[in-house]
């Protein structure tokens, strides 16, 4: 009996996972395809669009600004209107659970000569927005929000943005963040003068790749940590082009970890994005002695795409995930923590303080779930350690993922090795990977819906 009205996934100890599969379109690239599609002058056809709730929030926000976005399964048609064609929305733009929607729209709307309100669900309403408001205010936008009790000068959603008349700035980001960087790029394209952005580390660079492809005046130095947006002499037009979104490596990560820890597994994921700013998960799993082959087979709009095969090669060994490797696998740390939980030795996840301000406080939520499963963990402000069970099965039981899709999926993967059944509240999984259970089952996992 499920006393809670939330649907549950039930996972049991599973036999070897085997097969070839694809995962839904990359969430980060899908946001950008929809948004930059709206900024083109003409029709943009998107194939392989992400199917999750976050991407639906971006599509709905664009519609509220007067853009026609038609979605049918994984195909979308966006009638681009350019920056100048956007119209003030009649009500607050609901960004749902999606930090990317809120922060990218902050940059977009900071440059528009009208007032907009951005709101979100309870999780998004706790996430820091001062980091994006501060530089946009320096560019001339007026942005107000709720006072953030946790951070001096911080603000929280809902945000009210009075945009227009921006000027370019030189800005060093306080944290490496693709959402923040992308917001400043979108504002910079609408500003007078140049905008120079420097990141302390290289975060995912999908914005730079896609905007350059569409003809935006943006350049990055090799290595990408410094970006220049120079709209002087630009006619303001992005040229429409069809977009093929590769599969989401961040979704694939859960299947890769599952295959690396369930004995006898051999899983191949095809058509998945292999952008080097995102492939930290593959390097981290290799450092843990997983047997992984990745092969680039194509390129789509400057994004490498390919196939990844993982075979369970016996026991994993502990690793240290820190610095640039942690940044390149930031969304995959919950999945990697599960690999560490089965490994031999003590793994360390360092320089991952940003996890505290994701959809949940992921350091707190993943360490709590690992502890519940009988795994020894230690938590610090900027990271955590996991002492692997060296193959001893974890405990099953009822998972409390704090309504965070990645914590739910990570806990589900751990459940594939538990002796008792594992129950995971499942409706938040649809934020990024609505077909998670179906694909896991097609590979042979013992997964059912309750
Ligand atoms: C994202 C950037 C990252 C990442 C998030 C998606 C993006 O966040 O964690 O899931 O699409 O730009 P930050 O910009 O906060 O690092």
Q: What is the pLDDT of residues 149-165, one digit of tens each?
A: 998 889 999 999 999 99
The number of beta carbons lying within 10 Å of the beta carbon of residue 232 is 9
Q: Which residues are catalytic?
A: 331
Q: Is the CB of 98 under 6 A from ligand 1?
A: no
Distance, CA of 406 to CA of 432 (rounded, Å): 8
Tell me whether residue 3 is in a domain: no
Of the candidates 186, 203, 230, which is a domain's last residue?
Answer: 230
Tell me whether residue 257 is in a domain: yes
pLDDT at 4: 52
Of the candidates 230, 264, 280, which is a domain's last residue?
Answer: 230
Most ligand 1 atoms within 8 A of CB, residue of 179, 281, 351 to mutate:
179
pLDDT at 153: 83
Residue 291: which CATH number? Answer: 3.65.10.10
In this structure, are 376 and 322 located in the same domain? Answer: yes
Backbone angles phi, psi at 143, to 5 degrees: -135, 125
Q: Is the CB of 283 under 6 A from ligand 1?
A: no
Distance, CA of 177 to CA of 158 (rounded, Å): 21
Is 270:307 a contact under the CB 8 Å cutoff?
Answer: yes
Tell me whether residue 237 is in a domain: no
Tell me whether residue 241 is in a domain: no
Instruction: List, for residues 190-211, the tens digit of each pLDDT value.
Output: 999 999 999 999 999 999 999 9
Tell me whether residue 370 is in a domain: yes
Bridge partner list, 76: 46, 71
For residue 180, which atom of ligand 1 is closest to its CA? 14
Distance, CA of 117 to CA of 146 (rounded, Å): 12
In this structure, are 201 and 150 located in the same domain? Answer: yes
In this structure, are 268 and 210 located in the same domain? Answer: no
Q: How far is CA 89 from CA 34, 60, 200, in A?
A: 17, 11, 35
Tell me whether residue 123 is in a domain: yes
In this structure, are 397 and 254 located in the same domain? Answer: yes
In this structure, are 33 and 149 located in the same domain? Answer: yes
Is 384:331 a contact under the CB 8 Å cutoff?
Answer: no
- Count of domains for the chain: 2
Supply 134's token pair: 């501060």
In this structure, are 78 and 130 located in the same domain? Answer: yes
SS3 405: helix
Q: Is the CB of 136 under 6 A from ligand 1?
A: no
For residue 176, which atom of ligand 1 is closest to its CA? 16
Displacement of CA 449 from its chain's centroid (Å): 25
Of the candidates 196, 230, 264, which is a domain's last residue?
Answer: 230
Is 210:161 a contact under the CB 8 Å cutoff?
Answer: no
CA 204 – ligand 1 centroid, Å: 8
In this structure, are 359 and 341 located in the same domain? Answer: yes
> Which portions of the chain are predicted below pLDDT 70?
1-5
SS3 170: strand
Contacts of 293 by beta carbon, 8 Å cutoff, 6+ apart = 308, 309
For residue 32, which atom of ligand 1 is closest to its CA? 11
Angle between helices 206-213 and 27-39 (to 10 degrees): 30
In this structure, are 78 and 211 located in the same domain? Answer: yes
Tell me whether residue 34 is in a domain: yes
Q: How far is CA 82 from CA 112, 125, 244, 372, 393, in A?
A: 11, 29, 21, 50, 55
What would you report as the CA-atom Rg of the chain, rounded to the nearest whole angstrom?
Answer: 21
CA 279 – ligand 1 centroid, Å: 14
Domain that holds residue 68: 27-230
pLDDT at 394: 98
Tell me whether residue 2 is in a domain: no
In this structure, are 17 and 31 located in the same domain? Answer: no
Q: Is the dihedral of CA 416, 306, 407, 439 positive or negative?
A: negative
Distance, CA of 259 to CA of 246 (rounded, Å): 21
Displacement of CA 116 from its chain's centroid (Å): 24
In this structure, are 138 and 182 located in the same domain? Answer: yes
Bridge partner list, 19: 267
In this structure, are 196 and 51 located in the same domain? Answer: yes
End-to-end CA distance of the chain: 8
The DSSP bridge pattern shows strands 142-147 and 41-47 to be unpaired
In this structure, are 94 and 50 located in the same domain? Answer: yes
Distance, CA of 252 to CA of 27 (rounded, Å): 12
Q: Is the CB of 179 under 6 A from ligand 1?
A: yes
Distance, CA of 348 to CA of 380 (rounded, Å): 11
Q: Is the CB of 177 under 6 A from ligand 1?
A: yes
pLDDT at 2: 47
Distance, CA of 421 to CA of 271 (rounded, Å): 32
């Amino acid at each position: 009996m499920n006393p809670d009205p939330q649907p549950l996934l039930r996972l049991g100890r599973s036999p070897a996972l085997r097969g070839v599969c694809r995962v839904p379109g990359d969430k980060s690239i899908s946001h950008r395809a929809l948004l930059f599609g709206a900024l083109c002058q003409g029709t943009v056809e998107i194939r392989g669009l992400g199917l999750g709730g976050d991407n639906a929030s971006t599509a709905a926000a664009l519609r509220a600004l007067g853009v026609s976005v038609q979605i049918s399964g994984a195909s979308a048609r966006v009638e681009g209107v350019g920056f100048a064609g956007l119209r003030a929305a009649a009500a607050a733009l609901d960004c749902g659970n999606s930090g990317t929607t809120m922060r990218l729209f902050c940059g977009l709307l900071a440059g528009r000569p009208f007032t907009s309100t951005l709101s979100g669900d309870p999780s998004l309403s706790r996430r820091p927005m001062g980091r994006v408001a501060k530089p946009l205010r320096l560019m001339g936008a007026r942005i107000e929000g709720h006072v953030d009790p946790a951070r001096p000068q911080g603000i929280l959603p809902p945000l009210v943005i009075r945009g227009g008349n921006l000027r370019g700035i030189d800005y060093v980001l306080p944290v490496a963040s693709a959402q923040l960087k992308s917001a400043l790029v979108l504002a910079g394209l609408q500003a007078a003068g140049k905008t120079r952005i420097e990141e302390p580390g290289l975060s995912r660079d999908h914005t730079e790749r896609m905007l350059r492809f569409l003809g935006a005046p943006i350049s990055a130095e090799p290595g990408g940590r410094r970006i220049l947006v120079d709209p002087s002499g630009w006619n303001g037009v992005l040229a429409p082009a069809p977009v093929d979104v590769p599969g989401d490596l961040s979704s694939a990560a859960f299947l890769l970890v599952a295959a690396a820890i369930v004995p006898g597994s051999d899983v191949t994921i095809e058509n998945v994005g292999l952008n080097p700013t995102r492939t930290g998960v593959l390097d981290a799993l290799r450092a843990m002695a997983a047997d992984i082959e990745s092969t680039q087979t194509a390129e789509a709009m400057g994004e490498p795409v390919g196939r990844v095969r993982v075979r369970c090669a016996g026991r994993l060994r502990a690793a240290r995930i820190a610095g640039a490797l942690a940044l390149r696998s930031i969304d995959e740390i919950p999945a990697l923590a599960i690999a560490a939980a089965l490994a031999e030795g003590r793994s360390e996840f360092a320089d991952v303080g940003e996890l505290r301000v994701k959809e949940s406080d992921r350091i707190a939520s993943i360490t709590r779930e690992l502890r519940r499963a009988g795994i020894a963990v230690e938590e610090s402000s900027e990271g955590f350690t996991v002492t692997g069970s060296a193959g001893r099965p974890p405990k099953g039981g009822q998972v409390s993922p704090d309504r965070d899709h990645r914590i739910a999926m990570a806990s589900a993967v751990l459940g594939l090795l538990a002796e008792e059944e594992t129950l995971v509240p499942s409706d938040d999984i649809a934020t990024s990977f609505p077909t998670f259970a179906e694909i896991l089952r097609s590979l042979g996992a013992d997964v059912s819906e309750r």
